[in-house]
Amino acid sequence: MKKVVKFGGSSLASAEQFMKVGSIIRADKSRKYVVPSAPGKRSSGDTKVTDMLYSCYGAAIREKKFKEQLDAIKARYQEIIDGLELTISLDGEFDVICENFGKKIGRDYAASRGEYLNGKIMAAYLGFEFIDAAEVIRFRKDGSFDEATTNTLLSTRLEASEGAVIPGFYGAKEDGTVVTFSRGGSDVTGSLVALAAGADLYENWTDVSGFLIADPRIVKNPKSIETITYKELRELSYMGASVLHEDAIFPVRKAGIPINIRNTNAPENKGTLIVEGTCRQPKYTITGIAGTDGFASITIEKAMMNSEIGFCRKVLEVFEKNDISIEHMPSGIDTMTIFVHKDEFEEKEQQVLAGIHKAVQPDHIELESDLALIAIVGRGMRATRGTAGRIFSALAHAHINVKMIDQGSSELNIIVGVRHDDFKSAIRALYDIFVVTQI
């Protein structure tokens, strides 16, 4: 069995955290390939190494002295090296970095050094081979990611390695110019390594024990999600849940490789398993609740709307011409309501209203702002009767008025629209009925 393990910045912020990571890797011989992030914050008032590098390079760009800032970064790494009692020296690496900063070699290069240096330390600590991501993660001349070349380079290199450390977050063009991933950073690298290695499992270690059913800032001590499908994850992510970015999921999803989200500080916890599909019955009817606010609705009324061919198309064209994306569109016989992002709509609301009047001559248009959308997601809803009824019941008992409800044809999610002021109360009410009381 082969596993790829990725560790986030908080998991590698200090020598103490490194030791936890080392114990995790050594506890399972199948953990053959390691993808480290740059050191994160050691405490709430600390600064991430990546931010220190950005600041340092910014000083170099402005022709200001940056040696003192670079020395502070060097001290962060030396603290880890000393704590691990390693003999490795990064003096030569920092001489090269100092020279390249002076040459203003690039912001991506500057940011990538956090992972690069941490990878060097991790390889020395584990006794693994160090593979520079710049040699195996390829970007094209225009800066776009080259998936095919990357997979070929990575596969060939990993096949010859019994254990390797590959820094996350960056790669390079063929000429050696360093390029960083715009989103998902080290998570993307971990996913690419898992694909190239033909891994059986991709473990993503962070500072939380998997995904939670609801936002802990809204619901106190929410339960964790044991197993979630990629489809469920996409629905929750789209509605604002802080989960892995799509770019980080796609490579392993395509290969059917499961992702396991684990907690470095609680390795005994099984975390959350992300899979393509599963026969496992969920513990609760729902898998998760996520939502976001900042929406506006435009309700268009016109008698006999349903018999007017092309009515919806004409209305939607108005939004298209004004470059406004539509989130949801519930409709009735003589009404249709369009939900959009408030900040997008406000700038062009008068052009949109004028366009709608010109296109379909409505009897009345009503606007409402400060709305929120909440997604109740779960594969268990398909086999459970009365889910929508329970949603209405929970919100009614909490004295919350439902502005909109929309269920997808997949029966995987139900979207509910409420006023902004009711947003948090609605999430708590839904969590209570589906998880706490399980009525």
Tens place of pLDDT for every residue, the chain, 439 residues? 899 999 999 999 999 999 999 999 999 999 999 999 999 999 989 999 999 999 999 999 999 999 999 999 999 999 999 999 999 999 999 999 999 999 999 999 999 999 999 999 999 999 999 999 999 999 999 999 999 999 999 999 999 999 999 999 999 999 999 999 986 678 999 999 999 999 999 999 998 888 889 998 899 999 989 999 888 888 887 777 666 777 788 889 889 999 999 999 999 999 999 998 887 777 888 899 999 889 999 999 999 998 899 999 999 999 999 999 998 888 888 999 999 999 999 999 999 999 999 999 999 999 999 999 999 998 878 777 888 888 999 999 999 999 888 876 667 889 999 999 999 999 999 999 999 986 5
pLDDT on residue 409: 65
Distance CA 137, CA 150 (A): 5
Residue type, 314: K
Task: Determine the angle formed by the axes of helices 91-102 and 49-61, rounding to 10 degrees.
Answer: 40
User: Which are the contacts of 386, defined by CB distance < 8 A and separation ≥ 6?
Assistant: none
Quick one: DSSP state of residue 294?
E
Hey, what amino acid is at 69? Q
Residues with Cβ within 8 Å of 180's Cβ and at least 6 positions away in sequence, in order, are: 108, 111, 112, 169, 170
CB 427, CB 415: distance < 8 Å: no
Contact 209, 271 (CB under 8 A): yes
Q: Token match 């690298």: residue?
A: 189
State residue 73's pLDDT score: 97
Q: Are 323 and 347 within 8 A, CB to CB?
A: no
CA-CA distance, 34 to 183, in Å (whole number)?
20
Q: Give the C-alpha separation, 235 to 376, whole Å.
A: 9
- pLDDT at position 113 is 97
What b/e sequence results for 71-110 when a residue is b if at least 16 CB atoms lie within 10 Å of its CB, and e otherwise? Answer: eebbebbeebbeebeeeeebeebbeebbebbeeebbebbb
- Residue 418 is predicted with a pLDDT of 93
**Helices within 287-381 (DSSP H only):** 311-321, 342-346, 349-360
Task: Match 């006023």 to its residue by tokens.
Answer: 419
C-alpha–C-alpha distance, residues 374 and 335, integer Å: 22
User: Tokens 């095919």 — which residue?
Assistant: 148
User: For residue 425, what are the CA distances in angstroms to 151, 235, 287, 430?
Assistant: 47, 21, 19, 9
- Count of beta carbons in the 10 Å neighbourhood of residue 197: 23
Angle between helical axes of 107-126 and 67-83 (0-180°, round to 10): 20
Per-residue confidence (pLDDT) for residue 184, from 0 to 100: 64
Q: Output phi, psi for 165, to 5 deg.
A: -115, 125
Of 143, 252, 242, 249, nearest in space to 194 by CA: 252
Whether the Cβ atoms of residue 142 and residue 175 lie closer than 8 Å to each other: no
Amino acid, res. 60: A
